[in-house]
Every structure is written in structure tokens, then in C-alpha cells.
Amino acid sequence: MMENRHTRLWLGVLTLALPLLGFGAPAAGQERPVFDAERNFNPPPCDYSDTFYRDNGVEPTQVTGRFGDARRTGPPASGNQVNWVTDQSCSLNDPQRRNVRILATTGGFSDDGTATPADFISILGFLTSARAFEPNYTRQVGQQTISIKQGTNPRGIATLRVLANFEAYAALKQRLPDGSFAANPCAAHMATPLAPATPCFAVNSVDTVFTPNLRQDWRFDTNHNAIDGSDGNCINTDPALCPGGINNSPFGYFCDDLLGIWLIDYFWFTADPANPGSVCGPIYRSLIRKNGASLDGTPIIKTADELQNLIEANGCGAEGKLSVDGSDGGAVGFICPAIPDPRNGAIAKDAFLDQVRLPDGSPQNRQLTVNFLSLQRFGVFPFEKGERDGDGNQGDDGGQGDDGDK
Amino acid sequence: MGTKGMTAGRGTTEINDRVGTAGWSPKRQEPRPEMSRFQGDRLARRKLIKLAASVAATGPLLLLPRGAPAGTRTLRIAKWTHFVFEFDEWFTNYAADWGLRNATRVVIDSFPVEKIAAVAAAQIRADDGHDIFMFPWPPAQYYQHTIDHTEIYRAVAGKYGSIPQLAYRSTLHPRNGKHFAFADFWLPCPLHFFQDQWLKVGMPFGPLTYDSLRSGGKTLREKHGIPSGLAFTATLEGNVTLHTLLYAFRAWVLGANGSVLFNGNAFAVEALKYIRALYQESGTPAQLGWEPRGNVRAMLARRTSCTANAISLLRVAEKQDTGLAGRIWLQPPLIGTNGMGITALPHITNCSAIWRFARNQDAARQFLADLVDSSRLGYEKSLGCNFPIYPKTVPDLVVRLSNDSHADPPGKYLELKDSLHWTPNLGVPGFATPEYMEIFNTSLVPRMVQSVLKGERSPQDAAAVGAAEMQRIVAKWQQQT
């Protein structure tokens, strides 16, 4: 309850702050415009239909904690919030969806080097083993046959390979209830030999990746396959044109990963921030100055470069993936489609931001909050607000009521 | 005349690890091979003896074409013995035809992969030998003894485009800007696994990651008695597998600028500890004694559950036992850790070098440039093993992969469709430099790993010793150039 009050307080403060950021009400004398349907053409996210899951190689009954069937309340929702609602418009807007609209909107960092907190996803459910992937499946659609053979679709793409190409980085809390610092996960095969195996932090259920158990917000790997096309593909064979070599990401997130599947990559620190030692200490301090501290007191990691070249290369951190046989019990991957374009209505008025919060309920990353509120209220990112105001249609959402502190 | 290498590939009563002719090819192509004779007057007797000794120890020689008119020029080619017999057979006939068209007598000598380095070194010492030497890896160590092959790349560019990255980074010496060899095809190195075995441990589509390889491999050995079978010995397979693994763990051997990175961070020890754990939990002592293609033989005998190799392994299985082949599935390389993604070094990078001492350099250049025109046939005759360096030569590669007449199911090889994406060059993140290739060819990495697996050194000590040896090699080459 205390946390909820703090949360509301913080959101209220941010709402008050938005006008200072340029999101003010229409100037005096201007006509307050009505809701602009042309600018709210992006429907908010909904769960996929069972058929669509199967057409894309995933058996929906094997999806753990699937929104629409489970997790209506509880993390990430808090208080009276619900994570999803029934909404008949879902299948009308997109016949591949079922009528379960997602309110819980998880934010995270694009792992493209910019460290921008601008990715918004819907965690529809979790994959705990390779059993979720159909080996064989056929469905006749008119003259067309949709088929999965040996786990591979007609385009020659195995669903598991799709999973392998998109990694989401989970930062589980390492500080245990007794105050000790766990330098490894409780999964022997992925524990790094560079740190003691015990004490360890749990990875044996999907709950462990729920937001209250995270020390920082998610990072989404876009350095192998960008979700926005910014992966720096260079496919010319002429070294003069591609001096760094060919980078031809074979998968496109929005064209190949139609379910929005991500492989979860757990990353953690191997040195207690309370006693980090002479090697990790300076690195921790430097990164904390730059990015801030996580809930464990370890640095917040925003980019691959920080994780790999600073933390892992110096033996101060490690990463690993749960066994795809499901023997670890936790989330190997999840179905969490990124919202292709979070603007123009994709963030619904009743959606809420699922992000890591400080003990006082305030957001750990305020820019993420500002981005979310801006998208929710105005349909644009903050930096775009001026552009939109400048095109003669200012204050487009002003008539929709002040629900920014929802 | 020793014929060990060739006869081993042509069918023995033992498990055959090379694709032979008895299965799919109804006829053996003529002409039959003969012994070649080096006839140059310039070849000193001492050198001839030395060269002949090295050749005799490794394999038979072929002379083509039969009955070539006297007085025609001679082009002598040394090549590694391909894993697929049909390819060598086709290549022999191709060379003969080329010789007829170009008034050239073409002599081909094949050597087992593991003998290639010794034969090349012997020819360099003798300052005489073949005109073209086809290596299964970039012969950067010999750059001082080869011509600049840039001209060949330029000649080919008119038809097939500028030099592709894999060739560029495999054959360019970055310090002098010259190409020490010409690359025309390569063999990807996917993971082969027995689907029925991995299904038992809940991984019907393979282990996917190194973490899952370890956990699933452990369960497979504990519950079903089947070890995993990555190659760890000082063989081509062992070298490729272990260099891949180090790279996938970000334990890079050399940096982009050629300096030693190994053991300069935490990744090397982490990788060595992983290999030790993998071996102890899921391996077999036999792994430490495998000779060349031991990993292939173990898979064909179903003694191991998986290995990394060129698809020649699966081709052998398809020919010998379709039931066995049906149970072997492919997957792209395991996902690396520390942000490395899916990656594997090429099993083979076919690099042809024309020696400076070659007597017929013009014909050699012409032969190599013309050979690219036949990349499609090379792909077919190698049963899909030889991926062309120039993609335009096999523009329908993905279509072919999707419908392979020998595969069950026909789309099994589609797992290779992105192989150019996940295959960097030997030497990555830098070039295939002389120092990197000496590290590779002296099997420094397999020896280092073996010292850990045999308990002779701790991972920390082995990494330190390995890094010191790498540093010595790098220093030596930097003094030379």
C-alpha cells in the first residue's frame, strides 16, 4: 500500500512536470481539438489467438502464465490493477489476436549502444522448455497449407532458431533476504566458475523474472538483430563498403519473430558491491556514476559494451541461459512481442508501465516513465512533441481527460 | 608409395568416415589415377628426394590428362584430400578437361588434411614443388613464398563481384596488403546431433546453447550412457571446434590489430573451465585420443550424441545407413556467451596458393580464375559441402538446401541457410594472419585444452602458458614483417 501511494505520488509529480517538458495544455485562445482518430491508428497490444501460436510453431497450452488464462492480478500489477482485460476490439483490429488486451506494459533498454529506454513489450507468457515448440503441425487454409515439419516452418525457419536470435537480458536480484550477496544462479550448468556457487539466487520458476524480483529494467538485445532495423546490417561484399565485414542478420524481429519470442539471458555480478575488490570496485563505481545503481547496489547495465567489455571481461559478472530441457524450472524464454510503434494509440489509456521501482515506489528509470506517459497521453515520444505541436495540430489528446496519474 | 590417406577414404571394412562412390554415384569416373612424375630438370636430386619422401609418406599422385601431347606445359597442383570422394573425382576430371582446353598437362597430388602443412613446408624448404597448393585453411604462414593473388580476385570480380568478406579476411595479409592465396569455397561447421537421443533429455531440436549442451550432455551420459562428442584433439576438427568455442566465449586469441588478447581478461579461464566441466560431466576418455575424424567415426558408430563438423559427416551417414542419417539432425552452432551470439569458424576454407617458385604461374592464375566458373558443380559434386565463396555462382543455394534429395526430411540442410552470417574467418576478429595461423596449425589451443583435461595444468596455468606461447609466436612474426 505504501508502495502504491508512493507510486501514485511519483506519477503525479511526473504529470505535473510534463507541462514543463513541453507537454502543456493548448495555449489560451486556441480551440481544444477533439480526439484525433488519424493519430490513434495503432491498436494496443493483445494476446495472439491459439491458432496463431500454433501456426508459428508454439503450442499455446505449453505457455506458462499466459495472459488471458492466468496472471490477471499480481506482478507486474499491483493494488487494484489488472494485467489484462477482455476486449472485443482485439480480434476486430487483428484477426490473429484473441480478445485479451494487455495492460501491463514492460519497459526496457534497447541494447543498441544508445541505452535508450524506449522499448515497450507485453510479456504474454513464458516458455520453460523446448516442449513448447511444435515438432509437426499442419493446417489447411483454403488452398494453402500452413505446416511445421521437424520444428521448421515453410520458410525454413525453426521456431527454436528464432528464439536463439533474440535475447532479452534479465537482471535478477542477487541480494538475498538474509542480506548476503549471491554471486551465481542456483543452476550448476550456468553458474560461472569465477565465483562461488553458493549462496545462489533462484532461477527455478518463472516468478523469478517478475519485475519485483529484478534489480534493474530489462535490456533487449538489438545488437544481433535489431527490432527497429538499426542493427547496422552491411551486406555488400566489397570490403571498402563494409570494412567491418558482412553483418547480415538473418532474422528480422517483426518479419520472422511473429510471436515476439525472446531467449532470456540472465546476467549477474560476481562481486558483492559491498566488497567488490580492487578490480571490480573501480568498475562498479565508474558505471554507477554513469548509469546509477541497481537495487542491489551494483551498477545498472544499459549496453552490451558495458556488460561484456567492462563487467564480464574483468571477471566482475557473467551471463547464462537456462537449459532448454526445462530442468531448471525457470523461464528459458518468453512470448513478449515488442510494440512495433508505441506511438499513436498503442499505449492505451488504461495501460500501466511495468518497470523496476526503488524502495520508495519511485521509478528507477524516470526517462522510461516519461516516455511511457508521453506515449500514453500524447501518442508521441517527448522529443517528438514539439514536432507535432508545430504541424498545426497541437494538443491532440487534450480532450481525452487527465488520466496521466493512473 | 604410401597410400594411407586415399585408401582410407575409398572404403574399408571399418567405419568409413569419407563419402565414397558405392552409394549414390553409379559409375566411377575415368581416367584412373596414375603416379605423377616431376620432370623438371631444374629440380635438384636432393630436393627431389626430400619432396618425394614427403609426398610418398602422405598419399598417391595423379597424372592428368593421359596422353597429353609432348611439349605442352605442365601445371602441378597439390590439394588436400576432400572428405567427399566424388568431389576429388570430379576435380580430377575437371582439371583434365581444363588441361585439354588450355594445352596443359595437369598433375594433381592429394594429401590428407593432416599432412598438408608438412608437405607445404617441405616444398618451401626445397624451393620447389607444385604450382598451386590448395590448403584447407588460410596459408598465411607462407605468405613470403606465395605470389600476390589480388590479380585473380580482380579477374573474377568482373563476373561474380568484388571479393567477399570471408575470402578477403582469410587471404589478405594486412601488413603488406597482398593476398597470399585465393579462396573459392568453404565448409560450414554446424552441430550434428542425434535427435532421438536429445529428445530423451527434453531437447528435441538440439541443445541450442553451450549451457544446454552441458546440462543435456550430462543427463544423456548419466541416464543413457551416451557421451557428447566435441573434438578436443590436435586435429583439424579439434582445432576448429576449440577455436570456435573460445571465440564463442569471447576468449579471443588475437585482437583485431593482431595483439594477443588471450588471457588478458576473464574469458579464457572461464572457457577452459567450461570445457573441463563439459568433458568431465558429459565426455568420454576416448575423446582425448581421437585421431583425425575421430569425432566423425564416433558419431557414425553412435558412440556419441553430438559433434561439430562439416556436413560430410551427415553425407557419410546418408550413404552408409539411411536410418542412422535420419536420426542425425543439424543445428546452427551453439549460441555463444558473453554476447557472442551464434557463431562457428569454418571447418574448411579452401585457399589456393601459387608459390613464388611455381614454374607455371600464368597457367596457375588462369586455372584458379576459371575454377570459380565451376563452383556450382563443385558444390554439387561435394554433395553440398563446398559453399561457394562467390554466392552468385550458386544463386539458388537456399532452394537447394530446402530440397535435398538425399536428406530426410528434404529440408534438413536448411539449417545452413544462414551459415555465412554465423561463420567468421579464422583469425576473427582480425585477419587470418601468419601469427594466428601458426597458432592454429601448431595446435596450440588443443594442446592447451588437453593439458587441462588430463589434469596436467589448472585452467589458470594453462591459459597463462598458452598466452605466453601465443605471445612468442606473435613477437616472432612481428619481427619478420
In tens, the pLDDT along A302-335 reads: 988 899 999 999 999 999 999 999 999 999 999 9
Do residues B371 and B393 lie in contact, with contact meaning Cβ atoms separated by under 8 Å?
no
The pair phi, psi for residue B187, each rounded to 5°, is -120, 120
What CATH number belongs to B4-187+347-402? Answer: 3.40.190.10
pLDDT for the residue numbered B378: 98
- Output the average pLDDT for chain A: 82
Give the chain A residue nearest B340 (alpha carbons): A224
Q: What is the mean pLDDT of residues B123-127?
A: 97
Cα separation, B89 vs B377, in Å, equals: 12
The answer to whether the Cβ–Cβ distance between B204 and A165 falls below 8 Å is: no
The confidence score (pLDDT) of residue A81 equals 94
Which H or E run includes B223?
helix B210-224
Question: What is the Cα–Cα distance from B371 to B98, expressed in whole angstroms?
Answer: 9
Whether residue A357 contacts residue A3, with contact meaning beta carbons closer than 8 Å, is answered with yes
- Nearest-CB residue to A250 (from B216, B335, B418): B418
In the predicted model, is pLDDT for residue B413 greater than 60? yes
Contacts of B418 in chain A (CB under 8 A): 250
Res B312: pLDDT = 97
Structure-block grid coordinates of residue A356: 523496476
Cα radius of gyration (chain B):
22
Mean pLDDT of A100-119: 84
User: What pLDDT is attached to residue A340?
Assistant: 83
Q: Residue B7: pLDDT above 50?
A: no
**Could you give phi then psi for residue A253, rounded to 5 degrees?**
-60, -50
> Would you state the cell numbers that stand for residue B268, as one nine-digit string?
579464457
> DSSP characters for A225-236?
S-SSS-S--B--
Percent of chain A with pLDDT over 70: 75
Instruction: Write the pLDDT tens digit of every residue in B254-284.
Output: 999 999 999 999 999 999 999 999 999 999 9
How many Cβ pairs within 8 Å bridge chains A and B? 148
Of A151, A237, A248, the CB nearest to B421: A248
pLDDT of residue A17: 54
**Each residue of B13-36: pLDDT tens digit?**
234 566 654 334 333 333 333 334
The H or E element containing residue B167 is helix B165-171
CATH topology classification for B191-345+442-480:
D-Maltodextrin-Binding Protein; domain 2 (3.40.190)
CA atoms within 13 A on the CB side of A12: 7
So what's the pLDDT on residue A220? 87
Query: Closest Cα to residue B298, out of B232, B375, B254?
Result: B232
Distance CA B480, CA A335 (A): 55
Least confident of A387-391, B30-34, B232-236: B30-34
**Interior CA angle at B210 toward B322 and B18, to 5°?**
30
Average pLDDT over residues A106-127: 84
pLDDT of residue B67: 46
- Report the length, in residues, of chain B: 481
User: Is B219–A308 a contact, with Cβ atoms under 8 angstroms apart?
Assistant: no
Q: In the prediction, which pLDDT does B53 show?
A: 47
Give residue-wise pLDDT tens across range A118-158.
789 999 999 999 989 998 999 999 988 898 988 887 777 78
Contact A250 B202 (CB under 8 A): no
Q: What's the pLDDT at B457?
A: 98
In angstroms, the Cα distances linking B146 to B82, B94, B139, B179, B310 are 23, 24, 9, 9, 28
3-state secondary structure of B294: helix
Instruction: Tell me which chain A residues have a C-beta less than 8 angstroms from the C-beta of B280.
Output: none
Which residues contact residue B437 at a Cβ distance below 8 angstroms, ignoring those fewer than 6 apart? B137, B138, B139, B140, B141, B426, B427
- Judged by DSSP in three states, B128 sits in coil
- Find the CB nearest B270 among A150, A193, A249: A193
pLDDT at B420: 86
Say whether A245 and B161 touch across the interface (CB within 8 A): no
A75 has a pLDDT exceeding 70: yes
What is the grid cell recorded at B149? 593473388
Q: Which helix (H) or strand (E) holds B351?
A: strand B348-354
3-class DSSP assignment, residue B76: strand
Domain boundaries, chain A: 43-340
Residue A15's pLDDT is: 53
| CB-CB under 8 Å, B332 with A130 | no
Entry field: residues in chain A? 406
**Sheet of A97-102, strand order:** A46-48, A97-102, A84-86
Q: What is the pLDDT of residue A245?
A: 61
> Percentage of chain B surpassing pLDDT 70?
85
pLDDT digits (tens, 9 = 90+) for B57-93: 444 444 444 444 545 799 999 999 999 999 999 999 9
Residue keyed to cell 576429388: B88
Q: Hey, what's the cell of A100?
A: 485479451
User: Which residues on chain B are in Cβ contact (under 8 Å) with A221?
Assistant: 339
Grid cell 563452383 is found at B375
Q: Range(s) for CATH 3.40.190.10 in chain B?
A: 4-187+347-402, 191-345+442-480
CA atoms within 13 A of residue B242's CA, in its CB half-sphere: 28
Q: Vertex B357, ends B354 and B358: CA angle to 5°?
A: 50
Phi, psi values for residue A233, rounded to 5°:
-55, 135
Q: What is the pLDDT of residue B16?
A: 54
DSSP 8-state secondary structure symbol assigned to residue A61: G
Asked if A246's CB is within 8 angstroms of B163's CB, the reply is: no
ipTM value:
0.76
**Is the Cβ of B222 closer than 8 Å to some Cβ of chain A?**
no
The enclosing H or E element of B111 equals: strand B104-111
pLDDT bin (cut points 50, 70, 90) of residue A399 is very low
DSSP string, B279-335: HHHH--GGGGG--TTHHHHHHHTT-SSEEE--THHHHHHHHH-HHHHHHEEEEPPPB
Q: Is A304 in contact with B267 (Cβ distance < 8 A)?
A: no
Q: Is the pTM of this model over 0.80?
A: yes
B106 interface with A at CB cutoff 8 Å = no
Q: What residues does A67 pair with on adjacent strands?
A: A70
Tell if the CB–CB gap between B212 and A323 is shorter than 8 Å.
yes
Chain A residues in contact with B194 by the CB 8 A cut-off are none
**Cα–Cα distance for residue pair A318/A307, rounded to 1 Å:** 8
pLDDT score at B270: 95
Q: Is the pLDDT of residue B43 over 80?
A: no
Report yes or no: A106 and A126 within 8 Å, Cβ to Cβ: no
The rounded distance, in Å, linking the Cα atoms of B386 and A338 is 39
| Shortest Cα–Cα distance, B177 to chain A (Å) | 13
Q: Across the interface, which of A161, A189, A224 has its CB nearest the CB of B215? A: A189
Contact B211 A322 (CB under 8 A): yes
Residues of chain B contacting residue A308, judged by C-beta atoms under 8 Å apart: 250, 338-339
The predicted pLDDT at position B269 comes to 96
Q: CB–CB of A162/A56 below 8 Å?
A: no
pLDDT in tens, B308-358: 999 999 999 999 999 999 999 999 999 999 888 889 999 999 999 999 999
CA-to-CA dists, residue A62 to A130, A258, B395, B474, angstroms: 10, 18, 39, 53
Query: Which set of grid coordinates corresponds to residue B403?
Result: 530440397
CB B198 within 8 A of CB B204: yes
Q: Is the CB of B205 less than 8 angstroms away from the CB of A192?
A: no
pLDDT of B106 strictly over 50: yes
Whole-angstrom distance, CA of residue A38 vs CA of residue A388: 13
CA torsion sign for A355, A357, A361, A366 is negative
The confidence band for A233, taking pLDDT boundaries of 50, 70 and 90, is low
Q: In percent, how much of chain B has pLDDT > 90?
A: 78
